[in-house]
Amino acid sequence: MLAVPTLIDLTLFPYWWLQLVAFGFGVIIGSFLNVYIYRFHTGKSLSGNSHCLSCGASLRWFELFPLFSYLILRGRCRTCGSRIPCRYFLVELATGVLFVLSLTLSLNIFIVILFWFIFSVLMVITVYDLYHFIIPDRLTIILTFSVLVLIGYEYLLLPQDWEVLTFRFLSALFGSAFLLFLWVISKGKWLGFGDVKLAFPLGLLVGTPFVFSFVVLSFWIGAVISLIVIGWQKLKRGQSRLHFAGRALTMKSAVPFAPFLVASGLVIIFTKLNVLELFSFF
Ligand SMILES: [Zn+2]
């Protein structure tokens, strides 16, 4: 058996200290992810000063602090007063929280960093799909590769039978194939082909016993969020009564499904939820 050195023994540090460092690092990475998401789409280079997207005014040093600058500026540009999208704040906060939660998965520094990387990629995929209704293949490939590195490293730490690994790949493929089936019969109306591809690395990540729960939960989350969005849109149109029956329930052709897959995957990873157990109450 290969001896895998642990670079830093995180158990030597006080836990709250680790959480603080993880959160601080997470919000900083989150602010870089915001820049990456914006520039990935517009094709602008990643170098250069940060500036207001409306008036082009360069940001001063005190406006570059993640989370705090958004709160201090109350979501508006100091120069022109135009709104800064709240996703900047939310991405930073969510990344910080995910980085802290990663510590519950492992205290092996290499595994923690891999999870941080994986969650960062998932964050970009989620926001990108929300705004552009597409999941860039490049991101899915990076995600798949990093999940494979994680599985490989875990294998070095704790060698398993090849059947276990094979079954892990097969169940991820099965989850992906189920979405492919839905993609075919709905002619791409319920989800996109990018979601079919994304389900594979996510299925690999959650692991064999949880692929079923992962797929089912993504549809539950999707249904609940869709109902809320549909209801909210109806309220905005000034209709006092909500019509949840019939046509109102049908999903539009372009529903960004990746956020539901990612949300489901995250819930499963952190809670080890088995949806079948939910029915054991009845
Ligand atoms: Zn401005």
Query: What is the whole-number distance in angstroms between the Cα of residue 76 and the centre of ligand 1?
Result: 8
Q: CA-CA distance, 205 to 36, in Å (whole number)?
A: 24
Distance between CA 77 and CA 84 in Å, rounded?
7
Q: State whether 83 and 144 are in the same domain.
A: no
Q: Output the CA 58–ligand 1 centroid distance in Å.
A: 9
Structural domain contains residue 119: no
Domain that residue 188 falls in: 133-282
For the chain, the distance separating the N- and C-terminal CA atoms, rounded to the nearest angstrom, is 46
* Distance from the alpha carbon of residue 34 to the mean position of ligand 1, in angstroms: 17
CA-CA distance, 177 to 173, in Å (whole number)? Answer: 6
Q: If you measure from the C-alpha of residue 136 to the centroid of ligand 1, how many angstroms do you get, rounded to a whole number?
A: 29
Please state, in angstroms and rounded to a whole number, the distance separating the CA atoms of residues 140 and 258: 11
What was the pLDDT predicted at 235? Answer: 82
pLDDT 10s digit of each residue in the chain, 282 long? 445 555 567 778 888 999 999 999 999 999 999 888 888 777 666 566 677 877 877 777 777 778 888 888 888 888 888 888 888 899 999 999 999 999 999 989 999 999 999 999 999 999 999 888 889 999 999 999 999 999 999 999 888 888 999 999 999 999 999 999 999 998 888 888 999 999 999 999 999 999 999 999 999 999 999 889 888 888 877 554 444 433 333 444 457 899 999 999 999 999 999 888 887 766
Q: Say how many Å lie between the CA of residue 146 and the centre of ligand 1.
A: 37
Distance 222 CA to ligand 1 centre (A): 35
pTM for the predicted model, two decimal places: 0.87
User: Which two structure tokens, joined as six digits, stand for 235?
Assistant: 């309220």
User: How long a stretch of residues is the chain?
Assistant: 282
CA of 135 to the centre of ligand 1 (A): 30
Do 159 and 43 lie in one domain? The reply is: no
Domain boundary among 104, 120, 150: 104
**Count of structural domains, the chain:** 2
* Cα torsion through 220, 225, 227, 230, rounded to 10: -150
Token reading at 247 = 């046509």
Residue 145 and residue 216 in one domain: yes
At CA 116, angle to CA 115 and CA 118, rounded to 5? Answer: 60
Instruction: Give CA–CA dist 22/86, Å, rounded.
Output: 22
What DSSP string runs through 208-241? GGGHHHHHHHHHHHHHHHHHHHHHHHHHHTT-SS
